[in-house]
Chain A
């Protein structure tokens, strides 16, 4: 296991290198750079000023030098300087990261609490009314654009009923915990909807595979209570593939956070990303993309390791 982990960690290096190259190239080829910002603002800028600006940012160097510099600096935690604010990108991102992590973590927990029991019950009472409703719900959840679901919830719970705030992380002047919780509810529900739809289906399918297995029958035959048979034997084994899918999906939450944060004015890195896109603030975009990709790679690794740890039959030779 230790050797496998070591090997997987080593494999991450070329993967992250490849990712960083692709991200760098795509951003380099994007139309407009720092000059475009000046032009879009309609200010006339002396070409000499632009030239010195480019030199200061190292944009006059050949592209591979720029890449090596960018990558080297990133290893020491330096993600460059934001074009629009002039502040270090790492600092800008770190300021916004806690809000995103808070939102993603809550959505993850919420999705797990909702999806797993739903999937278990659906499998245990297959074709029951609840199973059929859960199936309908998950098909709807997968077909619905996340942002539209967000808009509808905003319309109903924030605008019409007035139970919850429309957007933001806190109300200005009210820093109470309850106020923060109220702000979190809608974005967290919206962000978790696709995971609830997906995981409950996986849980159901996985448990249905197992529920007729011989060892489940044996557990019943030796007189264990129904509860122990299902929760202790069947669910425990059925959870294995589901848990690894859940770890993989953590990465997908990141894409969802971009949309959710934008709708709910949530001050995290997803919204920062969209704002930076409109400002053509490429260093910030590159920084967020790198962090997002790193999270994906990291959670893929966790998913694989978790799978092996949960299922001792899998050997990593």
Chain B
């Protein structure tokens, strides 16, 4: 949020607000969104929990306990155990590391690609704009999941490659949104002023234009995390994402499918982990949208 303080456009500056008030204004508006605050807290809690998994998990994610195979939740295994007697709670923590990492970094990739392409298209216009937007149309038109299914065969379960692939297929929405915003700020006086004093194109885009498009960037990135988590879990569920024995929430559900009828906890808990995480991400995105929108009344 550090950028927020520096991104005051001249028109706002004229009301001579101290730079800090933008940030306090944001906090003031964000705090009213009780659900978003709660969601943010839950997400931070989840992130800390999975980051500390090696220290707080009661077992290791691949430790096999042949005496406790497919046990329902109990004191020893609070979420039960799976086909190999592995502790489900431990696996959800470790799976969360993978699922959250993929979710967060894919959204980051998509946001950077989308923001740069959208800003460049709007800033330069002309044939460059045309090419980038037609590329966006093409990328939008190919059904995303089937394409991901094919691309995932390149990844060979490598997590960095999966992040790149999911990110590479979800930048289009951000690109369109940013292009729209940039088109509208492009004509404002402070940019003409910047050009007049000889600011380079690169500095114009990265220092003056993109910081002013921070609202769609942050909101898009936040909601992107939720979508990426669902995408990862869908791919892993089909057996095309993260490969066992490394747990991810998606491949845990794939494992659970065959014993779903008799061992429902194996299906319920990983699904709930996805549901709660994505729900919180979406609420947080909504809260941020309202808090960052200058039109929202204080």
Residues of A within 8 A of B (CB): 14-15, 18-19, 22-23, 26-27, 29-31, 139-140, 142-148, 151-152, 154-155, 159-160, 251, 254-256, 258-259, 262, 273-274, 277-278, 280, 285, 288-289, 292-293, 296-297, 300
Number of residues of chain B lying within 8 A (CB) of chain A? 43
Q: Which residue of B lies closest to A251 (CB)?
A: B143
> In the assembled complex, which residues on chain B have CB atoms less than 8 Å from the CB atom of A26?
147, 150-151
* Separation of A278 and B230 alpha carbons in the complex (Å): 21
Question: How does the 8 Å CB contact mask read for B259-298 relative to A, with 1 for contact and 0 for none?
Answer: 0110010011001001100110111000000000000000
Nearest 10 CB-CB pairings of A with B = A255-B145, A148-B271, A143-B278, A143-B279, A18-B138, A292-B143, A159-B261, A296-B141, A255-B143, A293-B142
* Separation of A256 and B283 alpha carbons in the complex (Å): 23
B250 to chain A, nearest CB (A): 8
A295 to chain B, nearest CB (A): 8
Determine if B145 and A258 form an interchain contact, defined as CB atoms under 8 angstroms apart. yes
Q: List 8 A-B contacts (CB under 8 A).
A: A15-B138, A140-B279, A143-B279, A145-B237, A154-B260, A259-B145, A277-B240, A285-B150
A18-B138, A143-B279, A259-B234 given as contacts; is B149 within 8 A of A148 (CB)?
A: no
Determine if A293 and B230 form an interchain contact, defined as CB atoms under 8 angstroms apart. no
Determine if B153 and A152 form an interchain contact, defined as CB atoms under 8 angstroms apart. no
Interface majority SS (helix, strand, loop, mixed), chain A? helix
* Separation of A277 and B145 alpha carbons in the complex (Å): 12
Q: B residues 128-152 with Cβ under 8 Å of A?
A: 134-135, 137-147, 149-151
> In the assembled complex, which residues on chain B have CB atoms less than 8 Å from the CB atom of A144?
271, 274-275, 278
Question: How does the 8 Å CB contact mask read for B86-124 relative to A, with 1 for contact and 0 for none?
Answer: 000000000000000000000000000000000000000
Q: Is B63's beta carbon under 8 Å from chain A?
A: no
Q: Is B233's beta carbon under 8 Å from chain A?
A: yes
* Separation of A144 and B226 alpha carbons in the complex (Å): 10
A277-B150, A285-B150 given as contacts; is B261 within 8 A of A22 (CB)?
A: no
* Separation of A288 and B147 alpha carbons in the complex (Å): 10
Q: Is B6's beta carbon under 8 Å from chain A?
A: no
Determine if B143 and A139 form an interchain contact, defined as CB atoms under 8 angstroms apart. no
> In the assembled complex, which residues on chain B have CB atoms less than 8 Å from the CB atom of A23?
142, 147
* Separation of A255 and B234 alpha carbons in the complex (Å): 11
* Separation of A148 and B254 alpha carbons in the complex (Å): 10
Determine if B267 and A152 form an interchain contact, defined as CB atoms under 8 angstroms apart. yes
